[in-house]
Chain A
Amino acid sequence: MNITQQIVNAIWLGGVYSLFALGYALVFSVLGVLNLAHSAVFMWGAFIGLVAVTQLNISVWAAIPVAMLVAGGIGIVLDVVAFAPLRRRNAPRISQLISSIGAAILLVNIAQLIFGTQPQRFPLGSIPSDPLEGLPIRITPIQIVILVVAVVLMAMLQYLVVRTRAGQAMRAVAFNQRVASLLGINSGNVFRITFFLAGALAGAAGVLFGLAYNTITPFMGDSVALKGLTVIVLGGLGNIQGAVVGGFVVAALEVFSIAIGGSNYREAFVFTLLFLILLFRPQGLVGQAAETRA
């Protein structure tokens, strides 16, 4: 078993997981709710990328920003339909979790109706699939692209949250919505921006995931949804840097459990880890003591 090969696999898969989980973490940090429709947006992102490639005849690379924009739009719709009405009523966080489940069911079923349940693929030749030559390990161009896109998007998000005015407003609302509103921040806008960003990240992750495995189905979000939960729990719920670290840890765990021959149990490993983290370090591996106790 080639250990370097496994590390390479863990790294690019980790990039996709981190990208996906960032959207979860972003919404949780700003709104304090868990958006279980995130994986449905991820799936939609993959389909939009596919439609953009097959119907609009644009290249796979141009499809990524298209998918991000549309998925971001879906994110905003999600906020308006499933979250904003409950927020106005000051409903408990659990109600918002349930409404996000309702939205997820809706999104998956609409996709099923439009695209069917058969797995779909990017057209032949649209993805460069020959491994790079002259290397001791197998790396395909697509894996490098996935990692580069993921890292660039993460860096952009970090810049946006830390350096820009919108990011400042997001952090202020995350810290205390009431005080932020008193200081003149339009929290409704901040929530919409947050959902747009989360949706865009999910969309990008969806296209990249679709490219990597080249099978796109309405149910592709299911496995990633629960893995994404593990990622953000690992990083500390709502911790953005933590989500990035968590994504790579989960991917490494998964890849190495396959490598040691436990491919049937790789998800059991992941969920057992989730369980243990929640019990012993609910603030996450990299987090400090949480403000609200679990």
Chain B
Amino acid sequence: MDLLRSIGITEIVFQLMLVNAILGLSIYLTLYTGMFSLANAGFMAIGAYVGVVLTQNYDLPLWAALIGGMAAAGIVAVPIGLPVLRLRDIYLAIATIGFGEVVRILILNFDALASSISGENVQLTRGALGITGIPKITETWQLLLFLVVTVYILVRLHHSRFGRAMAAVRQDEQVAATMGINVVYVKNAIFILSAVLAASAGVLKAHLTRTISPGDYGFDQVVNILAFAVLGGTSTWLGPIIGGFMLTAMPEILREFKQYRGIVNGVILLLVIVYLPGGIVNVNAWKRLWRRVRRQPSIETS
């Protein structure tokens, strides 16, 4: 542990690494099923706000807030997913970006809106300033446990009939439908699962960072989450975890170069998507890169 601390990975950094790994997994689920959805930050916001209101205003324990936040996101995901998941690639991306922005703006104006409807002075989300002074009650072991359970469920999912249906939907929706897979059901179920996972990360993170504001869940946050999955790769569940770990730990390890942090992130994203399209956790991509470096004739015709 001392070694880790000496390179800048303190307990809070490690905790954030775990949270970001969960976020990476949430977008991995949809990407693995062939859906380019960017709604994760929106669901994260829903989870975080519902969770914080539960612990702050109703004095509930963290696990109850976790369940509440996840349930809220899951419930919202149903009416969003049903129409939106009919769209494909870029259209789906734009629609889900729009959803995320609407969520952010609604949270921003929630108090004013609720006050004008109920006629009372509602102080729940506290506008642009957000909620501060949230107790730091998320523990490292809870995060670790949550991540391990999530991975266990994912692995079981991949080896199940449903998991193979997911892969089939990604490969070709029409063929999958012809084989008797209920494509709409698979896509929506995964979308909801992804939303629930993002919301859980939202609840856990809110009780780590102690403050939340609508600005934390804008387009930048989606881009970060996407970067975890893209950097790590989406061919296995390990990819987004490694991606989340790396992108969270690296700025701390390289904190002397703090002002170049954003530049480094941009360069990494570009390099990975151009030279390692399968992400870091992808043996084939490394082999391909190695061949290119050594300038050996490639057998693959890609």
Chain A residues within 8 Å of B, Cβ to Cβ: 33-34, 81-82, 85-86, 89-95, 97-99, 101-110, 112-113, 222, 225-226, 229-230, 233, 237, 264-265, 267-268, 271-272, 274-275, 278-279, 282, 293-294
Q: Are B91 and A97 in contact (CB under 8 A)?
A: no
Choose one: B86, B97, B267, B277; the contact of A95 (CB below 8 Å). B277
Q: Are B269 and A99 in contact (CB under 8 A)?
A: yes
Q: Are A278 and B223 in contact (CB under 8 A)?
A: no
Q: Binary interface profile of B, 85-100, with partner A (CB < 8 Å = 1, else 0)? A: 0111111011101110
Q: Are B226 and A106 in contact (CB under 8 A)?
A: no
Q: Are A109 and B263 in contact (CB under 8 A)?
A: yes
Q: Tell me the bound Cα distance from A279 to B91 in angstroms.
A: 9
**Given A226-B101, A278-B94: A98 in contact with B263 (beta carbons within 8 A):** no
**Given A94-B89, A229-B97: A102 in contact with B263 (beta carbons within 8 A):** no
Q: Are A268 and B84 in contact (CB under 8 A)?
A: no
Confirm or deny: B302 has a beta carbon within 8 angstroms of a beta carbon on chain A: yes
Confirm or deny: B102 has a beta carbon within 8 angstroms of a beta carbon on chain A: yes
Q: Are A105 and B273 in contact (CB under 8 A)?
A: no
Choose one: A86, A103, A282; the contact of B91 (CB below 8 Å). A282
Contacts beyond the supplied A268-B101, A275-B98: 16 A-B pairs with Cβ under 8 Å: A34-B90, A34-B94, A85-B274, A94-B89, A97-B36, A99-B273, A105-B269, A109-B262, A226-B97, A229-B98, A264-B112, A268-B109, A271-B98, A274-B94, A274-B95, A293-B88
Choose one: A105, A113, A229; the contact of B223 (CB below 8 Å). A105
Mark out the residues of chain B between 224 and 276 whose CB falls within 8 Å of any chain A CB in the assembled complex. 226, 230, 259-263, 265-270, 273-274
Distance from A257 Cβ to chain B, minimum over Cβ atoms (Å): 12
Choose one: B95, B219, B269; the contact of A226 (CB below 8 Å). B219
Distance from B150 Cβ to chain A, minimum over Cβ atoms (Å): 24
**Given A82-B270, A229-B97, A265-B105: A98 in contact with B230 (beta carbons within 8 A):** yes
Distance from B169 Cβ to chain A, minimum over Cβ atoms (Å): 16
Confirm or deny: B133 has a beta carbon within 8 angstroms of a beta carbon on chain A: no
Choose one: A82, A103, A109, A275; the contact of B102 (CB below 8 Å). A275
Q: Tell me the bound Cα distance from A124 to B101 in angstroms.
A: 35
Q: Are A86 and B259 in contact (CB under 8 A)?
A: no
Mark out the residues of chain B between 206 and 221 whose CB falls within 8 Å of any chain A CB in the assembled complex. 218-219
**Given A109-B263, A237-B90, A294-B91: A102 in contact with B98 (beta carbons within 8 A):** no
Q: Are A294 and B223 in contact (CB under 8 A)?
A: no
- Residues of the A chain whose Cβ atoms lie less than 8 Å from the Cβ of B269: 98-99, 101-102, 105
Chain B residues within 8 Å of A, Cβ to Cβ: 36, 83-84, 86-91, 93-95, 97-99, 101-102, 105-106, 108-109, 112, 218-219, 223, 226, 230, 259-263, 265-270, 273-274, 277, 302
Q: Tell me the bound Cα distance from A97 to B261 in angstroms.
A: 22
Closest to B268 in A: A102
**Given A94-B36, A101-B223: A271 in contact with B102 (beta carbons within 8 A):** yes
- Residues of the A chain whose Cβ atoms lie less than 8 Å from the Cβ of B93: 34, 94, 97
Distance from A221 Cβ to chain B, minimum over Cβ atoms (Å): 11
Distance from A289 Cβ to chain B, minimum over Cβ atoms (Å): 15
- Residues of the A chain whose Cβ atoms lie less than 8 Å from the Cβ of B88: 293-294
Q: Are A106 and B270 in contact (CB under 8 A)?
A: yes
Choose one: B99, B101, B223; the contact of A267 (CB below 8 Å). B101
- Residues of the B chain whose Cβ atoms lie less than 8 Å from the Cβ of A99: 269-270, 273-274
**Given A94-B36, A99-B269, A275-B95: A106 in contact with B102 (beta carbons within 8 A):** no
Q: Are B105 and A278 in contact (CB under 8 A)?
A: no
Q: Are B83 and A279 in contact (CB under 8 A)?
A: yes
- Residues of the A chain whose Cβ atoms lie less than 8 Å from the Cβ of B102: 268, 271-272, 275
Q: Tell me the bound Cα distance from A75 to B93 in angstroms.
A: 23
Distance from B125 Cβ to chain A, minimum over Cβ atoms (Å): 13
Q: Are A103 and B266 in contact (CB under 8 A)?
A: yes
Distance from A8 Cβ to chain B, minimum over Cβ atoms (Å): 26
Q: Are B101 and A271 in contact (CB under 8 A)?
A: yes
- Residues of the A chain whose Cβ atoms lie less than 8 Å from the Cβ of B90: 33-34, 93-94, 97, 237
Choose one: B105, B267, B273; the contact of A271 (CB below 8 Å). B105
Q: Tell me the bound Cα distance from A99 to B89 in angstroms.
A: 15
